[in-house]
Structure 1
Amino acid sequence: MYFKSFFDENLAQMSYMVGCQRTGEALVIDPARDATPYLETAEKEGFTITKAAETHIHADFLSGARELANSNQVELLVSGEGGEDWSYQYLDETKHQLLKDNDQFYVGNIRMDVMHTPGHTPESISFLLTDEGGGSEVPMGIFTGDFVFVGDVGRPDLLEKAAGEEGTSAEGAKQMFASLKRFKQLGDYVQVWPGHGAGSACGKSLGAVPSSTVGYEKLNNWALQFDEEEAFTEQLLDGQPEPPKYFAMMKKLNKQGPSLEKDRDMKQLTPEALEAYKTDDYVILDTRSKEEFKEGHLPGTINISYDKSLPNWAGWIIGYDQSIVLISRMDQVSDVKKMLESIGLDDVIAYVDAGEIEKQSSLETYQNISPRELEAQYREHEDYVIVDVRNQNEWNEGHIQGAERILLGELQENLDQIPTGKTPIVHCQSGKRSAIAASVLQANGFKDVLNLTGGFSAYQKEYQPVTP
């Protein structure tokens, strides 16, 4: 048997390839949008990818299953559980199989047993792997998707919070409790291969290691310590962070079928040409570092630095009805485009060499201030307002007296919460999110915005925060 895991650090997403070396067949589980790593691995190892399986309709990344099926004649194996509202809508164009609880399928001599494991979503399924070709009669491991993680379980509130499906949080928590009962009955030796690692918004306390065992999770995973459904449900739903705004769109696109037309040409523009794109139909995304952006940027541009958090914040801030023009280093343009495509932001139409921006004369800047400057110069000044862009859980643990909380991902829709005529002093926990917020505020007319250096972490080292 051949086994390989793939980790997208930008989305903390795990996918897997399983191959039967006797028959040369391979299966990909929960493929990411970019199928290149799977195809390259298959060619290198002498496999033909014949099947692609999904544990559920994903909300946090755009699936590559449809593209694998259409481009490479791969059979799709997807959930037939959950009812019509949780069914894939593009399957008629593909060779596919709808899987139900207790179904089996094979990849060469490797057997996969299907478990319906609702809770995170109604259609969620898991796959138990038994290497019959290697002579085993017991399962080696289970692909859990967003059902069980290392140290956590999938959150059941996304359908309600992100997709607007009222009442599904409580029902999902009950289903999760029942699914975990089945999980506990598996052998302690069974390995656990989850769909995400630390950093994913699909749980609230995911572990950093990539895999585990059923026995280890039974001993250490908080969610497997409950015998009473009510107590479990209360704990599971408590403290879940706000889901990224783009999750609702991911659910919709993965259900309807991701676009197969993402590979479009981009044109290179001059900085002067960007003036024509400063309308609501476009967003000009500057991916330079926050330090570079602060020192000089074109008016009307949004700054999300080129790093692993770029897809997440782009999904929060950029509208799916907007076309995107990039300002990026030339050697980063292709990677940025792939990052955006991983969450379905496909309409990247043009780019500008970031090096050309720094040569311009009419650039905007914004100022950083320290916690001491905040307290000494701005605290009691009626012309300023402190804007905290952290999430609710962070706020509840402590915040600056008198601050207004506006979640970064919802800032553009809530600018009216900033009193007219006041200059915002923006901060987050460490300074990364507030730099994005500063760019959003400047692009929306708050030209004199100030950014708190080091964020709340730096502030609370010197001053006493407020707690509820």
Structure 2
Amino acid sequence: MFFRSYFDEKLAQYSYMVGCQKTGEAIVIDPARDITPYVETAKKEGFHLAAATETHIHADFVSGARQLAHDHGSKLYLSDEGDKNWKYQYLNGLSATLVKDGDRFTIGHIKFKVMHTPGHTPESISFIVTDKGGGSDVPMGIFTGDFVFVGDVGRPDLLEKAAGVKGTADAGALQTFDSIQRFKQLPDYLLVWPAHGAGSACGKSLGAVPLSTVGYEKVNNWALQIEDKEEFHKELLKDQPEPPKYFAMMKKVNKVGPKVLTNEEIPYIETYKGLQGFLNQDNTVVVDTRNGIDFANGHIEGTINIPFSKIFTNWAGWMLDYEQDIVLIAEKGQAKEIQLALESIGLDRMIAFADPKAVSEADELEQYQNINIETFKAQYQNEDVYVMDIRQQAEWNAGHISGAHHHMLGYLQDQLADLPKDKKMLVHCQSGARSPIGTSVLQAAGFKNIENVEGGFSVWKAAGEEVEKGENES
């Protein structure tokens, strides 16, 4: 049996290819939208991409299953569990088999057994794999999707918080408990291949190790230690991070069917004159992907800054509107990678890239000041100052600066009308990675008297300054 795993660090997402070396057939499990890595592996190893499957309708990225079916004729094996709200709607004209608990299918001489594991979502399934071609009559491992992670289990509250499906969080938590009881009956030696690792918003304490075993998770995974169903229910729902806004869109896209990509080239603009035609256009947002320092030192008024880093995809999903055209200021060598990152979460309306050098050609540039913690301390208690903490709720609850106001970055654009325009804004996050994004959003919205606090709350705390705890808000 051939096995290969793939990891997208910007989404903390795992996908897998399993192939039968005797027949040359391969299947991709939970494929990312960019199918290039699977195509390259198949070509190198001599496989035909015979099939693709998903453990559930994903909420955090666009699935590549439809693209594989379109480009390579891959047969789809998709869940038929859950009610009518969780059925795939794009399968007409494609080779597809809908599967339920206990169903079996084969890829060459490799057997896949379907195990319904609801909780994270109603239609979630796992796949138990047996390498019959290698002479084994016992299973080797289980692809758990967003059901069991290394050290954690999938959160059941996304449907309610992100998609607005009321009452599903409690029901999902109880279903997860029941699914875990079935999982515990599996052989201890079974390998566990999850769909996510540390950094994913699909759980609250995912491990960074890429795989585990059933036996190891029985001993070490907190969620498998709790025997009381109600206690488990409460613990699972406690302290889950805010789900990114784009999760609701991903559920819809993956259910009705992602757009098939045709790899059309996006124009790259090298002069400010060429960029001007896209500025101040209705229904167009201009995103500057340079680092926060370069952006602060000079940027085009009205642009927002989402630095192209490990957190780019997540915050693009939070901050950008799916109904807007997108222009990106980025280095030419990064343009393709940025395009793939945005397409991975369905932000397909990219109409142009622009060279950062074009920014320097503008007649006037806007700036903001980055200040150190000493400068912050000298003014943060002034009556004409508004200290804005843009961290997540759990971070705020664990400790915050006295007198600060909490406006989590992902919800900031929805709260602009409630902010005081007559005060100076001092913006901070935990370590300084997120606050440049928030500062740019505020400045683009008209808050011109604004400064960004370098190092954020971590520097404040390291200096031994007093912190408050609790859920009190502004």
TM range (shorter): over 0.9
What does residue 424 of structure 1 align with? Answer: 425
SS in 1 for 2:326: strand
Is 2:70 the counterpart of 1:70?
A: yes
Quick one: distance in 1 between partners of 2:357 and 2:46? 43
Gaps of 5+ in 2: none
What does residue 335 of structure 2 align with? Answer: 333
Counterpart code for 1:418? L
Quick one: distance in 2 between partners of 1:276 and 1:241? 39
Counterpart code for 1:385? Y
Contact 2:112 2:127 (C-alpha < 8 Å) held by counterparts: yes
What does residue 310 of structure 2 align with? Answer: 308
Contact 2:387 2:403 (C-alpha < 8 Å) held by counterparts: yes
Contact 1:60 1:250 (C-alpha < 8 Å) held by counterparts: yes
What does residue 252 of structure 1 align with? Answer: 252
SS in 1 for 2:49: strand
Is 2:102 the counterpart of 1:102?
A: yes
What does residue 452 of structure 1 align with? Answer: 453
What does residue 112 of structure 2 align with? Answer: 112
Alignment of 1:338-357 (within 5 A): 338-357=340-359
Contact 1:262 1:341 (C-alpha < 8 Å) held by counterparts: no
Counterpart code for 1:185? Q
Q: TM-score, normalised by structure 1?
A: 0.98
> How many residue pairs end up in the alignment?
467
SS in 1 for 2:92: helix
What does residue 137 of structure 1 align with? Answer: 137
The Cα of 1:356 is off from its aligned counterpart by: 2.5
Identical pairs, percent: 57
Is 2:227 the counterpart of 1:221?
A: no
Quick one: distance in 1 between partners of 2:377 and 2:46? 64
Contact 1:418 1:424 (C-alpha < 8 Å) held by counterparts: no
Q: Quick check: 382-391 or 274-283, which moved more?
A: 274-283
Contact 2:272 2:361 (C-alpha < 8 Å) held by counterparts: no
What does residue 41 of structure 1 align with? Answer: 41
What does residue 466 of structure 1 align with? Answer: 468
The Cα of 1:371 is off from its aligned counterpart by: 2.1
Alignment of 1:48-67 (within 5 A): 48-67=48-67
Quick one: distance in 2 between partners of 1:150 and 1:4? 18
Q: Which runs of 4+ in 1 moved over 6 A?
A: none
Quick one: distance in 2 between partners of 1:44 and 1:379? 59
Counterpart code for 1:64? G
The Cα of 1:94 is off from its aligned counterpart by: 1.0
Contact 2:77 2:98 (C-alpha < 8 Å) held by counterparts: yes
The Cα of 1:262 is off from its aligned counterpart by: 5.5
Is 2:235 the counterpart of 1:207?
A: no
Q: Which of 358, 364, 367 is the equivalent residue of 2:366?
A: 364
Counterpart code for 1:157? D
The Cα of 1:45 is off from its aligned counterpart by: 0.3
Alignment of 1:177-188 (within 5 A): 177-188=177-188
Contact 2:115 2:125 (C-alpha < 8 Å) held by counterparts: yes
Quick one: distance in 2 between partners of 1:423 and 1:268? 37
SS in 1 for 2:376: helix
Q: CA RMSD in A?
A: 1.1
Q: Which of 319, 322, 328 is the equivalent residue of 1:320?
A: 322
Q: Quick check: 240-249 or 267-276, which moved more?
A: 267-276
What does residue 395 of structure 2 align with? Answer: 394
Contact 1:262 1:346 (C-alpha < 8 Å) held by counterparts: no
The Cα of 1:206 is off from its aligned counterpart by: 0.2
Quick one: distance in 1 between partners of 2:144 and 2:438? 36
Q: Quick check: 380-389 or 78-87, which moved more?
A: 380-389
The Cα of 1:295 is off from its aligned counterpart by: 1.1
Quick one: distance in 2 between partners of 1:165 and 1:266? 37
Quick one: distance in 2 between partners of 1:465 and 1:355? 42
Counterpart code for 2:33? R
What does residue 236 of structure 1 align with? Answer: 236
What does residue 14 of structure 1 align with? Answer: 14
SS in 1 for 2:332: coil
Quick one: distance in 1 between partners of 2:357 and 2:83? 52
SS in 1 for 2:415: helix
What does residue 154 of structure 1 align with? Answer: 154
The Cα of 1:360 is off from its aligned counterpart by: 3.5
The Cα of 1:317 is off from its aligned counterpart by: 0.3
Contact 2:267 2:351 (C-alpha < 8 Å) held by counterparts: yes
Contact 1:157 1:172 (C-alpha < 8 Å) held by counterparts: yes
Counterpart code for 2:322? Y
Residue 420 and residue 355 in structure 1: after superposition, are their counterparts in 2 closer, same or farther (change >3 A)?
Answer: closer
The Cα of 1:266 is off from its aligned counterpart by: 2.0
Contact 1:62 1:343 (C-alpha < 8 Å) held by counterparts: yes
Quick one: distance in 2 between partners of 1:397 and 1:362? 42
Quick one: distance in 1 between partners of 2:249 and 2:300? 30
SS in 2 for 1:112: strand
Quick one: distance in 1 between partners of 2:145 and 2:320? 27
The Cα of 1:129 is off from its aligned counterpart by: 0.4
Q: Deviations over 1:49-102 (max 9, x none)?
A: 111010000000000001111111110000000021100110113110001000
Q: TM-score, normalised by structure 2?
A: 0.97
Quick one: distance in 1 between partners of 2:187 and 2:49? 30
Quick one: distance in 2 between partners of 1:205 and 1:403? 27
The Cα of 1:282 is off from its aligned counterpart by: 0.7
Contact 1:385 1:418 (C-alpha < 8 Å) held by counterparts: no
Counterpart code for 1:393? A
SS in 1 for 2:5: strand
Q: Quick check: 164-173 or 265-274, which moved more?
A: 265-274
Alignment of 1:430-441 (within 5 A): 430-441=431-442
Gaps of 5+ in 1: none
Contact 1:146 1:154 (C-alpha < 8 Å) held by counterparts: yes
Contact 1:146 1:202 (C-alpha < 8 Å) held by counterparts: yes
SS in 1 for 2:442: helix
The Cα of 1:218 is off from its aligned counterpart by: 0.2
Quick one: distance in 1 between partners of 2:274 and 2:164? 40
Quick one: distance in 2 between partners of 1:167 and 1:421? 41
The Cα of 1:238 is off from its aligned counterpart by: 0.2
The Cα of 1:380 is off from its aligned counterpart by: 3.0
Quick one: distance in 2 between partners of 1:160 and 1:343? 20
Counterpart code for 2:458? S
What does residue 82 of structure 1 align with? Answer: 82
Quick one: distance in 2 between partners of 1:174 and 1:262? 42
